[in-house]
Chains A and B, each alone.
Chain A
Amino acid sequence: MGVAHGEVKAEAPHMGGINEAGCGRGPRIGVYVCHCGLNIAATVDVARVRDAVAGLPGVVVARDNKYTCSEVGQKTIADDIKNLNLDRVVIASCSPRLHERTFRELMARSGLNPFLLEMANIREQCSWVHGHDREAATRKAVALTRAAIARAALLEPLERNVGSVTKSAMVIGGGVAGISAALYLANMGVKTYLVEREPSIGGHMAMLDKTFPTLDCSLCILSPKMVEVRENSNIELLSYTEVRKVEGQVGSFKVELLRKPRYIDEAKCVACGLCAEKCPSKAPDEFNRGYSERKAIYIPFPQAIPASYVIDPNYCRYFTRGGKCRVCEKICERGAVDFSQREEIVTLDVGAIVIATGFEPYDASRKTQYGYGRFPNVITSLDFERIICADGPTHGKLKRPSDWEIPRRIAFIQCVGSRDEHETDGAGKYCSRVCCMITAKQAFMVKEKYPDAEVYVYHTDMRTAGKGFEEFYQRGRSEGIVFVRGKPGEIVENPEDHSLRVVAEDADSGCILDLTFDMVVLAIGLRPPGGLVELAQKLNVSRSADGFLLEGHPKLRPAETSIEGIYLAGCAQFPKDIPDSVAQAGCAAAAAAGVLASDRIEMDPLNPVVDEELCIGCRLCEKLCPYGGIKVEKTDKGFKARVIELACKGCGVCGAACSARAIKMRHYSDEQIYAQTAALLEVG
């Protein structure tokens, strides 16, 4: 940024002159040009902008303020509205996406209709992007401000639509973030539906052995939370259920869910396990990442909630062999097995939604140079968690998959699927944030179990930003873990003993390290989960370039989305560790509860209005509106379109498609937009 321009008067707002002449009965507009400290004033000649618009028709007063959004700045406007009888306000400052709400509230407090405000974006879309050209930036700022004035003169007062509030919430995703959000909400007295697509809640955290940097047992801390979900009378858990459709708006969403058949009556099953004992069909156990087997009738893990078995129709003989077997049905004393179950549609009415859909581990087989899937002893960090877990396939013994012998030399490779320019799907360029610490933890656990094991970590650089993280990493170093700054190009397997040769350059010493290991662990990144694209479309929320969901504001609204009433928790927004996920869940729950605390919700009234004289009753608008926001009804003048205000979202598609031009968009009318373009083009 450059320095302040000499002409900028930072002291006391400058009076640009009150222009009573020529205002007549027309609009009485006050114009406020903001310095935003030096954010605008360093590039745009604010005084010149002020003077260029001061004499325009309808402009009663034009001033510049150091910070228009400050207490002083707002008071100046409030005083002018009162003393000069202003009926419209134009503020040339930052993006309306930042402060439109602030200034609308100011207007309302000052007795003016908040929709008589217009903002000119001379910061994000002017001073910040034309920093090298003061003259051009100033001219552009003048043009944008003049356009805002032309539009302001045509603005009409609007009354907000008022909607009712359904006092319940839905949380999508039952990992640690979703569990936490649901518990926060429930404990605030909100009826909460927790929707999980898998047969049990728990998410990825349930698969971890220990958590960093404290080395608590993951399930030991998660499982009480899961039980709390089951016990809390405000929470209704809908497991094995997916979101099909979402309609409506903040305060009253209508949700359609699809409950998949478990073929077990959850209420009757006591998880005794007799059925699985007798079940003749085996399937790879996905909870153990395929390193062990489970039965076709199974419980995902012992602590699963709901504590109910589920039948996997892909392996169950009843389904694969046309109605035969039914052993489980015969053995179950409680008659919980129910092959007649079908997919079921469930509808919910909720006032707010929290998305906590988590992540998907990176598919390491995409990095063919590391041989994951081909070389048995190359595993991922998530596989490691299962292999070292007491509940895992080796009952807590660290063993390598090729021969189930104890590995003595272990390498970890960082940033597999993260910080990677070669990943072409748009994602993968970001740092997944947790993998460095996961590796630090796992390496430490190896050393803990086998102090004489040789452990190498190949990394890009170790990122240990978090409470107690750096200390934990240093502890690992002192235990003899070797950290090598350098990424191996490939892994070569010795087909005889399945040992793995890893060659890499140590960037710190410049040496080439050519080493052979018994096992290699790939620290895989966190990716947006499958189905997130479709879910985002159903909920109408935006995604960011990395594929995760876009927050309302990167700094100030990290747990909100672009849609009012829909909030974010955990890795759905971006990779994060457990405490951050829980913190964001609390934030999302608080925001959702805030909405649910009131009895009514005000919505911007940016709906169209239909001119019945012009409406030809062609029904096109009705067919086009995706929200059912406009309906054609028979009147005494024939068929005429009518707007359903609360359903309408104000997109303007009906207005643009109306061939008779009978639909006028409030706040974005043809006249208003046209006046704006005309003013933009008038300025030289």
Chain B
Amino acid sequence: MSDLLGVSGIMSGIGGMNNWKRDSDVNGAAANEAADRVAQDIRRIARKLLSDGEVDVFIGYGQGTLPSRVTPVFITRPEDADALIWDARCENDLVVYLPGIEGKAGVVVKGCDGRALARLLAEKQVERDRLKIVAVECAGVIDRKSVKRDGGNRVHLHPSCQVCEERTAPVYDFLAGGATGPVVPGGPGDKSGSRDPFGEIREFEARASEERWNYFSQEFDRCILCYACRQACPLCYCPECFADRATPKWIGKDRALSDKMVFHLGRAIHLAGRCIDCGACVRACPMGIDLRKLTRKMEKDARELFGYEAGKAAAAGALPLFASFTREDPDDFIL
């Protein structure tokens, strides 16, 4: 686990997370400065877009009711743009609101959100010409769960941010604050050689089959099939999920471990080549299940087998993984 820019007691009074800012070292100070600059720029862009009538609504982040939390805000008047903020608490993926919005919208996107948006564009769920995309160069968001686990003493980046390879959206209209923010070591966009984005998956793959089975059995046994993961996912938007189908009943309602596994496997397959590792499912899961163990595996295999990267600049707008093929795709597993 990477320590987010040193410690600082900043998480004192967790639950409250009163002082979540990181200010104890140089990197931290620089990051904070950059965040402030980005926030100012977001407000400026939003104000301009709204007053020019370029958008009907601007979706961004605002201060939540709890000091530690931010909340999505929907700004429709230029004068309200001052409510917009940007910092490492801005974990929500605002892209999920776009399909439901009529008219023209502006939206703030981090790297992962931008990848989700690229997929939604490719899947024709959002129309590009009704959209103003305001990208930010993300330095990672805080993982509230691990901070809480540590009693608020250490600040951790969200696990997805620790392996994030592209911190800026692949497509955007504005880059708020410019492209000058420092790369946080071990954070989004850190391309230093030693970092293996799939290191954790590789390590897990190397374990014995039974060990992996036992691990997943324990993890998924905790699942209560509440489908919070699905609700939080920016790419789960089917009008009716396979898990809710009555004919055939893919997922039994008696909460057998087998059904829970079939749900999670089915979800992983549905998201293969689509999941952009925003981490929303993990944040949403009330049981703390290690869902990324499956989704990251799919990401890794899609890349290894087919050179496919969901929502990355190169693949933005590409056909879905399972809707494309090459004649040279791996064939060695076939009898």
Contact = CB atoms under 8 A, between A and B. Distances in A.
Q: In the complex they form, do A and B come into direct contact, defined as C-beta atoms under 8 angstroms apart?
A: yes
A675 B239 CA distance: 24
Nearest to A675: B248
B323 A616 contact: no
Given A660-B238, A670-B248, A616 B125 contact: yes
A671 B124 contact: no
A620 B238 contact: no
A617 interface: yes
B200 interface: no
B322 interface: yes
Given A618-B124, A618-B125, A619-B124, A657 B248 contact: no
Contacts of A661: 238, 240, 242, 245
Contact of B239 (A613, A619, A620, A624): A613
Q: Is the interface of B mostly helix, strand, loop or mixed?
A: loop
B247 A620 contact: no
Contacts of B124: 616-619, 639
B246 to A, nearest CB: 10
Contacts of B237: 616
B3 interface: no
B239 A660 contact: yes
Contacts of B319: 620, 623
Contacts of B322: 657
A659 B322 CA distance: 10
Interface in B1-51: none
Interface in A600-647: 613-614, 616-620, 623-624, 639
B320 A620 contact: yes
Contact of A620 (B240, B242, B245, B323): B323
A614 B238 CA distance: 7
Contacts of B240: 613-614, 660-661
Interface in B292-311: none
B contact residues, range: 10 to 19
Interface in B223-272: 237-240, 242, 245, 247-248, 270
A674 interface: yes
A674 B320 contact: no
B80 interface: no
Contacts of A624: 323
Interface string A643-684: 000000000000001011110000000110011000000000
Contacts of B242: 661
Q: Which of B238, B245, B274 gathers the greatest number of chain A CB atoms within 10 Å? A: B238
A616 B239 contact: yes
Nearest to A672: B248
Interface of B: 123-125, 237-240, 242, 245, 247-248, 270, 274, 319-320, 322-323
28 contacts: A613-B240, A614-B238, A614-B239, A614-B240, A616-B123, A616-B124, A616-B238, A620-B123, A620-B319, A620-B320, A620-B323, A623-B323, A657-B320, A657-B322, A659-B123, A659-B238, A659-B270, A659-B274, A660-B239, A661-B238, A661-B242, A662-B239, A670-B247, A670-B248, A671-B247, A671-B248, A674-B248, A675-B248
Interface of A: 613-614, 616-620, 623-624, 639, 657, 659-662, 670-671, 674-675
